[in-house]
Amino acid sequence: MNPIVAAASVVSAGLAVGLAAIGPGMGQGTAAGYAVEGIARQPEAEGKIRGALLLSFAFMESLTIYGLVVALALLFANPFAG
């Protein structure tokens, strides 16, 4: 494998994981803050808020997992290595 392609693959794999984690991390923090605020305002709606929060956490975390899959593909099944 060309050393430049190998180095670019490692750098892009790191960027893929790093950038894929920024958005969901910020979103999870914001969602958790608003969920706590909503539960504080309406304690009787805690079950519904918690259920929606956990479901949204799962969707947000799937974006980070997609970034990890892209990074692993670049590292171990590199389509640019030839």
Q: Note whether residue 33 is domain-resident.
A: yes
Q: How far is residue 24 from each of residues 3, 32, 37, 44, measured CA to CA in Å?
A: 33, 12, 20, 28
pTM for the full predicted model: 0.77
- Domain encompassing residue 57: 22-75
How far is 11 from 19, CA to CA, in rounded Å?
12
Angle at 15 between CA 10 and CA 20, to 5 degrees: 135
Mean pLDDT of the chain: 93
Does residue 18 register a pLDDT over 80?
yes
Question: What's the pLDDT tens digit per position in 26-54?
Answer: 999 999 999 999 999 999 999 999 999 99
Domain count, the chain: 1
Give the domain CATH number at 51.
Answer: 1.20.20.10
How far is 78 from 72, CA to CA, in rounded Å?
9
Q: Note whether residue 65 is domain-resident.
A: yes
pLDDT of 2 reads 87
The DSSP 8-state label assigned to residue 79 in this structure reads T
Q: Note whether residue 27 is domain-resident.
A: yes
Q: Note whether residue 62 is domain-resident.
A: yes
